[in-house]
Structure formats: structure tokens, C-alpha cells
Structure 1
Amino acid sequence: MPTIEKELRVQSHPAPDWKSLSLGSPLLAALPESARRLTRSLEIQRQGAVFRRGDRPQTMFFVLSGEVRLLRQSKTGSEIVLQRTRRGFLAEASLDQPTYHCDAVAAEPTRLLAIKRKTFTQALAVNDFRDRWIAHLARELRKVRAHAERLSLKTARERIVHFIETEGEAGVVDLNQSKKDWAVELGLTHESLYRTLAQMAKGGELEVENCRLSLRWT
């Protein structure tokens, strides 16, 4: 099956609605007009490939809705999720790389922005956009460090508490994914996650209301 990266070379796609996009993302709002004119919006179905490992990066992708995951195969054949993007740039570290080192696959029907890599690189010469891009990368680095710290914790309870405290506000977090997907992100089996959530709720440590998790310290 062809990837979105390759289809962009031969197919025409509509221009985005920059007025609404700018309201939702300060980073996109700072994208220079010269880059906006060359940016296109597109859609990809569930399990569709944005790019594959070994492809040459020629486009920067921004996820508008849906979800794209960066995946790599382990030695045992299971999938390792390197990044989950529901709204934001995808595979930022590939901007200056000769090839992709993983696959990017849509976890559900997804809308994307596609910005040519050369166009994106030229946009970084504009001070406002460059400063916002640097700030964005700094936030992503903090998220990666928090994730690595979380995976170093030994128990499921510790990982759950760490996630709520670092990803939420005042001990409350609203999950934007299924609990099964969350278990994968925490490095747990879904059985272990559900069991620990139930134990914490029974012990009065945690309140679980649909996708909202609230720590309750006594």
C-alpha cells in the first residue's frame, strides 16, 4: 500500500483553512505566509501509513484530528509505540535525517497537514516561528524525560500516580485514549492496570469517573 508521503508527490490536496487553524495552535499561527501557500490538508483512514521505515523524509506532518502512532517492531515481533500524536507535529526528530527510523500509522481516521520539508526549513528563518518551534521542542523533551522517568518506576501504582501528577493538573487528569492504550504507554498489561486502578479506588486513593482520574490523598 502506498504511504501518504509518496501520494503527496502525485496527488492534489486542498489548502487548509488557516483562520481556524491559527486560533487552535499558536505554532501554526506563526507559520509564515510563504509556507502556508505550499501546505496541504489530507485525510488518512485507520491503519493507513503516513510513512514507512526507510522512506526519505520530504514532508513535515501536523495531526489535526485522529491519531498517528510511530511504531517499531521488537525482536519478538511485537509493536513498540514510540510516539502518539493526537494534535501536533509528528516525528520532529526526522526533520534533518536521511531516512525514517520507524513507521507512522493512523490508529483511527485522521486529518493531517502536510508541509514540504524544504518549505518548513525555510520557515525556521523567521524569528517568531523559529522561537515557537524551539519552545515546542523543549516541551516535547520534557514529556520524553517524564515518560522515561515513569517507566523506571517499579510498580503499576507508582506509574499511575506519576502519570496523573505530571500529565494532569492538581491531581486530576482526563485521558484522551482508551485504558488499554494507556496501559501500553505505561508499560503495563491492561489486566495489571485495571487491577491496580480498582485497588486504588477501593482504598480511597483514586476516583475514576469515565476518562477522568482524580487522586484522593487522605
Structure 2
Amino acid sequence: MFVFIIGLGYKKTYDSDHMELYIPQTLKELLPDALLSQCKAHPFAKGEYLFHLGKAPEYMFFIVSGEAVLSRSNSHGEATILQRCKGGFLSEASLLTDVYHCDAIATHAGTAITLPIQSFRSSLKDEQFSSKWIKLLSREIMRLRTQSERLGLKDIKSKLIHLIETDGKRGTLVLESDYKSLASELGITHEALYRALSKMEAEGLIEKQKNSLRLVNKLFRAQDC
């Protein structure tokens, strides 16, 4: 049995195991009531696998807090980060597949919401929900295209400027994880990232803080005035 209490930006519920669950407004507006009633809280620790490559999908995962990545290793055992998720769906591509095509690993402890994948598939017969889901996927495609464009840039300096300009606000990017995670997101080693950041600081291009990067070129100085 579920009890729903409407709050500011969240729907507060208690599942059958009496585990408190907070549903973000975005998810509350997306899902039909039948799916909302099947939401479960799934707390995870750093290093925990949410799902494994080759396993049959059982749930859709929505990251509420913490961070998880989709990772796949090559024949030499080197891991490639396919997606880094700090909030939102982690497993959209698995909705209509027979097996997961990558691993989902928590890089920071947090909580996910799980939804039975069969119920999710069935709910897509609802035209209103289906339309909302298509819009969500369209936004994700746009985000991935921007990420692909960034990864295609030749040097680290260009990648960093592109990241700050596209993901930041007014020339400042607030980091939601550490610099090692940022390096993985850019497809470089953390040593190479630190060298590039030091050089850009010395050239007066950026200001590096513990949790943020700020462009300090003339364009953003003018905007900040």
C-alpha cells in the first residue's frame, strides 16, 4: 500500500517496506499514476553495480541523488564511460532490449528510483505518456550530441572551454563530482586534465576552484559587469 503526500517539488511516499521515497517533480509529471505507485527506493553505495552487462533488464533506474556511470570494457580491460548520470534516467536504451549492453556502476553513494521494466513498457501504450517519453528522449539525444561534439575536439583546452560554455552558466561550471570524474567524462586521464588546467590558469584563461571552473576571457568579464 502507498500513501502519497504532495510536497514542494516532490511526492513523498512510503512503500510496502515503509522505506521513505521522494519522487522528483520531473518524474511525478512524467509518469502515469499506475507507474508512480510502483516506484521503489533503491539506495546504493559507491562502487555498487546497479546492473550488469549481459543481464536481462528488470528495472528502469532514475537517479535521485549520488552519481552512476554506464561503463563498458574493451578486450584489454580498459573501461569507457558511456554516460555519467547525476540525476535522471540511467537506462533508457535498455527499455526495449533483451540484455543490458553495459555495466551501471555507482561512483558516488546515493538513491535511485526503480520501476519494473515490463510495467514501463506496457504504460507506453498510453499516448500521453508515450508523447512525454519521446520528448524526454529527444532532449537526451541533444545532450549526447553536444557531448559527442566535445569528445571530438582535438585538445583538452578546447574540450574544457566547450564544456564550460555548454554546461555552465555565465561562464562558470559548477562541478557535481570531483576532477577525476571530470577527466573520465572528457575521455582523458586525470593527470592530463591537471596539466591542462594548470596551463590554462597560468595563461589567465580560467579560474579553478575546488568545485567550479570559470572562464575569465573578455566575453564573460563583460557579461558579469
Q: TM-score with structure 1 length normalisation? A: 0.85
> Greater RCO between the two (CA within 8 Å, min separation 6)?
1
What are the superposed Cα offsets for residues 83-104 of structure 1, whole Å, 9 maximum, x if unpaired?
Answer: 1112111120110001111111
**Residue 109 of structure 1 aligns with which residue?**
109
Q: By how many angstroms is 1:45 displaced?
A: 2.1
SS state at 1:67 partner: strand
**Residue 194 of structure 1 aligns with which residue?**
194
Aligned length: 203
Q: By how many angstroms is 1:195 displaced?
A: 1.5
Q: Which amino acid aligns with 1:106?
A: A
Identity %: 34
Q: By how many angstroms is 1:127 displaced?
A: 4.2
Q: Is the 8 A contact 2:28 2:36 kept in 1?
A: no
Counterpart CA distance in 2 for 1:26 and 1:89 is: 11
Q: Is the 8 A contact 1:72 1:79 kept in 2?
A: yes
Q: Trace 1:17-96 onto structure 2 (pairs within 5 A).
A: 17=21, 20-21=22-23, 24-96=24-96
Counterpart CA distance in 2 for 1:49 and 1:59 is: 13
SS state at 1:165 partner: helix
**Residue 209 of structure 1 aligns with which residue?**
209
Counterpart CA distance in 1 for 2:55 and 2:20 is: 25
Q: Is the 8 A contact 2:54 2:100 kept in 1?
A: yes
Are positions 1:136 and 2:136 aligned together? yes
The structure in which a higher percent of residues are strand is 2
In the alignment, structure 1 segments of 5+ residues that lack a partner are 1-11
SS state at 1:84 partner: strand
Q: Is the 8 A contact 1:30 1:128 kept in 2?
A: no
Q: TM-score with structure 2 length normalisation? A: 0.83
Q: By how many angstroms is 1:53 displaced?
A: 1.0
Counterpart CA distance in 2 for 1:142 and 1:127 is: 23
Runs of 4+ in 1 over 6 A off after TM superposition: none
What are the superposed Cα offsets for residues 74-131 of structure 1, whole Å, 9 maximum, x if unpaired?
Answer: 2221211111112111120110001111111222323111111121123333444333
Counterpart CA distance in 2 for 1:13 and 1:98 is: 29
What are the superposed Cα offsets for residues 128-186 of structure 1, whole Å, 9 maximum, x if unpaired?
Answer: 43333222211211121111111111111011001111111222111111111111111
Counterpart CA distance in 2 for 1:116 and 1:82 is: 23
Q: Is the 8 A contact 1:14 1:42 kept in 2?
A: no
User: RMSD across aligned C-alpha pairs, in angstroms?
Assistant: 1.9
SS state at 2:53 partner: coil
Counterpart CA distance in 1 for 2:17 and 2:104 is: 20
